[in-house]
Amino acid sequence: MTTLALLRNELPDPDVSLYKQVLHNFDAFTLFPKLPVELRLAIWSYTFKPRRVELSQRFWKTDLVRHKAKSTPPIAMHINKESRDFTSEHYLVLLRDFKDHNRTIYIHPELDTLALPTLKIFEFEQLRGSAFSSVVCKIQHLELHHMWWSDTWTSVIGEGVNIVPESDAYYPFYCTWIKRFREEMVVRAFPVLQKLDLVVKMNGRIGLLDTEKGRRDCEESFKKFMGRLAVEIPGYKVPEVSVLS
């Protein structure tokens, strides 16, 4: 007796007709377009993962002539019009390359971390346009490289000791970096920053941050420095600061 015959005998109505169902292996979920739009958009949003958008460049005189990022937009940017439109609402164009669309850089201001090689990047006219600034001002996570640091600067930056202009000749890296940090990055460029990772450039002549105490002193100094800015700048909130070496 077959399995269907045995099952029929167990049913309340043994005369009911039973048929075998052929199950198929589906390579696609064909019912996705029929889902409620709210559910489809929620599914697209699950493709958004935190990324590290590393901006690199080649310098020529005073122009930023080339840029690229070692990251790609989420897959939802390439599926269909609905997914692209929804993704474009959250991933903004940081830098656009009109000749090579593959070099157009997208960033999610609330999820992604922008990694900059140096604050010198803000000296270039190409990055002072309103489009770039309007995106940067929304970024919440920043990773900044080539920060010069000396263990002798702890009291200067942490305790707020004034630096006279002539000191640039003696501490060029420090004074230039702090001025850019204050005038360009904190005040103007990244007003809603929540997390800041400072990657220190090592130099044996001015003291290495190769110890836990050294990194902690540097980190605390910048927290105090940014805490003073919060008092001076209305609405500014001190981000989480981490010093990496």
Is pTM beyond 0.85 here? no
Q: Quick one: average pLDDT of 122-127? A: 56
The whole-angstrom separation of Cα 112 and Cα 139 is: 8
Tokens coding 242: 């981490």
- Helix (H), strand (E) at residue 188: none
pLDDT tens column, 2-60:
665 665 566 666 566 656 666 666 677 778 888 999 999 999 999 999 999 887 765 54
Of 171-175, 183-187, 196-200, 216-220, minimum mean pLDDT range: 171-175
Give the CA dihedral 174, 65, 62, 145, nearest 10 degrees: 0
The pLDDT confidence band at residue 141, using thresholds 50, 70 and 90, is very high
The pLDDT confidence band at residue 162, using thresholds 50, 70 and 90, is low
Q: Quick one: average pLDDT of 121-134? A: 62
The domain spans of the chain are: 51-66+108-244
Average pLDDT, the chain: 72
The whole-angstrom separation of Cα 161 and Cα 196 is: 23
Distance of CA 235 to the CA centre of its chain: 22
Please report where in the chains the tokens 């940090």 appear, as a residue: 181
Please report where in the chains the tokens 């003696």 appear, as a residue: 170
Q: Quick one: average pLDDT of 52-72? A: 62
CA angle in degrees (0–180, nearest 5) for 233-116-214:
75
The pLDDT confidence band at residue 61, using thresholds 50, 70 and 90, is very low
The pLDDT confidence band at residue 90, using thresholds 50, 70 and 90, is very high
DSSP line for 65-97: EEEEES----GGGGS-HHHHHHHHHHSEEEE--
pLDDT tens column, 197-242:
888 765 544 445 667 777 787 788 778 878 877 887 788 888 888 8
213 in Cβ contact with 151 (< 8 Å) = no
pLDDT above 60: residue 112: yes
DSSP strands (E only) in 118-224: 141-148, 195-201
